[in-house]
Amino acid sequence: MKNVFVETSNVKRFLSALSALEERGAQEACLVVVDGLPGLGKTTTLKHWVAQNGCIYLRAKKEWTPSWFMNELLETLRVDPPHSFQKKYAKVLEELATRQGMASMERRIFGLVIDEADHVSSRAAILETIRDISDMIELPTILVGMGRVNDNLARFPQVASRVSQKVRFEKATKDDVRQLVRSRCEVPVADDLIDFVLTVSQGFNREVLEAIANIERFGLRSEPGEGGVTVADMAGLVIVNDRRTNQVIKVPGAL
Amino acid sequence: MDAAKLEPGEIPTTILHHLCEGECQTIDQIVNALGLTHRQVSNGAGKLILRNYLERVEIGCYQLTRDGLTAKHNGTVITSGPWRPDTAGTRKPVRDTFRQRLWTAMRMSGAFTIGELVMAASRDDADPENHTGRYLRYLKAAGYVVELPVRAKGTHQTSNGFKRYRLLKNTGPTAPLYQAKRKSLHDYNSGVDVPCNKPL
């Protein structure tokens, strides 16, 4: 499989949300919520964005307290955490503001990404700390979750009002699947098989990639026709595992 | 003298061996004696002054120093190489390099393959897979990264699969720098040099 990052419609919506964030009206509204079911490409997108922009990435823990969160943030910023919470808070603001200033001089976006935010999205103390940091230096803060973040935030209007952009990662469209197959698969694939991949994957990127690997394995061993590997070529072969039943799905004889 | 035919260091060597003990010569005198241009003499004298072989008594008038006389007697030949030990410390970290992006992607990942890192970190880099493999070998030799026993399945018929790695020492945000001369990995985060001389 080719090691190429593919800009699917979800990635494009994420990037446009960040652009919109820069042009927001209310300056204090700098929270972005990225939500969606597992396997839709959230982590891959975020990993690519963080690696390219040098942002701060934290993975929320179930038992996070404000102090633990501050300590992790300070460690990521390479600062020895002071003892008192007050000093930690001041130090975090100082460090983040310096980095944000440097990033703006280099004309790149700088932000704080908190992955697995479902763990903290119903905890007022952590959310208030995040809001305070984000408000004070107008730092874009991206909360990444698996479907519950938006609903949980609704209980905290003072935080929810700071959410400037909501990006919901949706299931891949036919164009997304075609783009993924064309960009990443090392063998040509016919349209009927792409349609079948969309159906069996139910639009989940993880399953689409699994199907691409199986198609590639077959295509590299046989000689596909000019139009690429078709459904008929792969009849009877495993294409993907069903995530609900954990049963293999095979390509039927003909559609 | 035709500059195109000169070896690097030939002019300073010529000037060094032309001047005599206790004698101060002007640029014009050296130009006339050696058939060089003013610019060539000035540049050559500059290289000798750097090495502390020559001193400028007054503007445009040069005399050999004690070190210069010793060098002359020893028949020293000036070359284009380093003229003093390289005592420079470690370079400052550069923020936006391919290796920095790789390191950031590693810190965010659990287990990873070269392909996954390339996908996250690559921009328009030349041969990113090869580059990533080399950097991972340095990190592995220094004990920062461990190779996992089970490989990711490949798709090619003869594929041995793809090695999977895990970052063991996540010391901080700045990517460790491989120093070929010292055969070590400098970690900016902890400030230490980690030996990296296992077979790569």
- Pairwise CA distance, residues B168 & B172, whole Å: 12
Q: What is the pLDDT along chain B (200 residues), one digit of tens a residue?
A: 555 567 888 899 999 999 887 788 898 999 999 988 989 998 899 889 988 999 988 887 899 999 999 998 998 888 888 777 766 666 666 678 999 999 999 998 889 999 999 999 998 888 999 999 999 999 999 999 999 999 998 888 888 999 999 999 988 888 999 988 888 999 988 889 999 876 55
Residue A12 pLDDT: 94
Residues of A in contact with B109 (CB under 8 A): 47
Residues of A whose CB is below 8 A from B96: 54, 106
State whether ipTM is beyond 0.85: no
Complete edge-to-edge strand list for the sheet that includes strand B177-179: B177-179, B184-187, B192-195
Nearest Cα of chain B lies from the Cα of A54 at a distance, in angstroms, of: 7
Q: Which residue in B113, B89, B102 sits closest to B186, CA to CA?
A: B89
Domain total in chain B: 2
Last-in-domain residue among B24, B41, B74: B74
Q: Are both B60 and B145 inside the same structural domain?
A: no
Indicate whether B108 and B191 sit together in one domain.
yes
B105 and B141 assigned to the same domain: yes
Report the DSSP pairing between strands B111-113 and B164-167.
antiparallel
pLDDT at B163: 94
CA distance B177 to A5: 26
List pLDDT tens digits, range A38-80. Answer: 889 998 999 999 999 889 999 999 899 999 999 999 988 888 8
> Do B102 and B184 fall into the same domain?
yes
Q: Does B102 lie in the same domain as B67?
A: no
Judge if B7 and B70 occupy the same domain: yes
The residue of A5, A44, A47, A206 whose CB has the most chain B CBs within 10 angstroms, and thus the best one to mutate to test that interface, is: A47
Residue B89 lies in a domain: no
Question: Cβ A47–B120 below 8 Å, yes or no?
Answer: yes
Assigned domain for B91 exists: no
Residues B58 and B141 in one domain: no
A78 neighbourhood in chain B, CB within 8 Å: 172-174, 189
pLDDT for residue A156: 87
Q: For residue B144, give the DSSP letter.
A: S
Handedness of CA A217, A218, A220, A221 (dihedral sign): positive
- SS3 sequence of chain A: CCCCCCCCHHHHHHHHHHHHHHCCCCCCCCEEEEECCCCCCHHHHHHHHHHHHCCEEEECCCCCCHHHHHHHHHHHCCCCCCCCHHHHHHHHHHHHHHHHHHHHHCCCCCCEEEECHHHCCCCHHHHHHHHHHHHHHCCCEEEECCCCHHHHHCCCHHHHCCEEEEEECCCCCHHHHHHHHHHHCCCCECHHHHHHHHHHHCCCHHHHHHHHHHHHHHHCCCCCECCEECCCCCCCCEEEECCCCCCEEECCCCC
Query: How far is CA B17 from each of CA A192, B27, B56, B60, B62, rounded to the nearest angstrom?
Result: 83, 15, 17, 18, 13
Cα A197 to Cα A187: distance, rounded to the nearest angstrom:
15
Tokens coding A134: 């984000």
Sequence length of chain A is 255
Short-list A170, A151, A189, CA closest to A41 = A170
- Does a structural domain hold residue B122? yes
Whether A54 has its CB under 8 Å from any CB of chain B: the answer is yes
Nearest by CB to A47, which of B108, B128, B155? B108
pLDDT at B199: 54
Q: How far is CA B48 from the centre of its chain?
A: 23
Q: What pLDDT is stored for residue B141 in this prediction?
A: 93
Interface contact flag, A57 B108, Cβ < 8 Å: yes
Please indicate, yes or no, whether residues B112 and B185 belong to a single structural domain of this protein.
Answer: yes
CATH number for position B26: 1.10.10.10
- B114 and B181 fall within a common domain: yes
A222 vs B: CB within 8 A: no
Model pLDDT, residue B180: 87
pLDDT at res. B93: 65
How far apart are alpha carbons A111 and A139 in whole angstroms? 6
- Across the interface, do A51 and B104 touch by the CB < 8 Å criterion? yes
**Do B191 and B113 belong together in one domain?**
yes
In the predicted structure, residue A247 carries a pLDDT above the cut 60: yes
Residue pairs between chains A and B whose CB atoms are closer than 8 Å: 63
User: Tens digits of per-residue pLDDT, A5-51?
Assistant: 999 999 999 999 988 887 776 666 788 999 999 889 998 999 999 99
Residue B30 lies in a domain: yes
Shared domain for B139 and B65, answered yes or no, is no
- Using the beta-carbon criterion (under 8 Å), do A220 and B96 form an inter-chain contact? no
Out of B107, B121, B155, name the one closest to residue A1 (CB): B155
Q: Is A185 exposed, middle or buried (0-12, 13-18, 19+ CB in 10 A)?
A: buried
Long-range Cβ contact pairs of B171-174 (< 8 A, separation 24 or more): B171/B144, B172/A75, B172/A76, B172/A78, B173/A76, B173/A77, B173/A78, B173/B103, B173/B104, B173/B107, B174/A78, B174/B93, B174/B100, B174/B103
DSSP B7: P
Say whether residue A77 is in contact with chain B using an 8 A CB cutoff: yes
Q: Using only C-alpha atoms, what is the Rg of chain B?
A: 27
Give the rounded distance of the alpha carbon of A41 from its chain centre.
Answer: 5
Which member of A3, A54, A78 has the closest CB to residue B172? A78
Q: Minimal Cα–Cα distance from B100 to chain A, Å?
A: 8
Please tell me whether residues B108 and B68 are part of one structural domain.
Answer: no
- Residue with the bigger pLDDT between A242 and B167: it is B167
- Tens of pLDDT along A112-163? 999 999 999 888 899 999 988 988 888 899 999 988 888 888 888 888 888 8
Do the chains contact at A186 and B189, CB–CB below 8 Å?
Answer: no
CB B116 within 8 A of CB B51: no
Q: How far apart are the CA of B156 and the nearest CA of chain A, in angstroms?
A: 6
pLDDT band with cut points at 50, 70 and 90 for residue A93: very high
Range of the domain at B15: 3-74
Q: Does A216 touch chain B (CB under 8 A)?
A: yes
For residue A136, the model assigns a pLDDT of 87
The reply to whether CATH 1.10.490.10 applies to domain A9-168 is no
